Structure 1
Amino acid sequence: MLGLSEVEIMNKTPEQVYPEVWATVLAILWLHSNAVEQRDEWELLEAKALNWLQASSGSQLVDCVKTGNAVLDCSVSPQTLGL
């Protein structure tokens, strides 16, 4: 779905970031880049995921978003996600 293999995704995981956090960040970025027209279907799920991410990753979250943007070749700003 992301156009990358699992190995590629795991090799680009920021240091000291749990795989679950990384996967969630990538999923949110993908939704913002590829499913904007269905936002009303996923915005509640996104809010729940962002709450979990903030509790799980703290200050690393902004760096994860920046790295995720580079990996997925998108440009979702951390501010868009409320960070």
Structure 2
Amino acid sequence: MPIFIDIGAAYPNDNRVTLVVWGEHYDDFAEMINAVDHGNAWLSVTSYLEVYEGSLQMNSDNGCDYTWWTGVG
């Protein structure tokens, strides 16, 4: 089961990029997912962009480099 992380606007707004994290990669992303889930966070991801059903997304299957900042207001 994947986890979907919207960067920019929230789904279903088209002004977003979605990071799809597949279950087998969860451990690699767990700390970031927990920090971002609590809000007031910025996320920067470098990966290949794909178009899925008209929306941009990045997929953990393609490899991702990421960093995040919390306490952002």
TM-score (normalised: structure 1): 0.28
Higher RCO structure (Cα 8 Å, ≥6 apart)? 1
TM-score (normalised: structure 2): 0.31
Higher helix proportion: 1
Higher strand proportion: 2
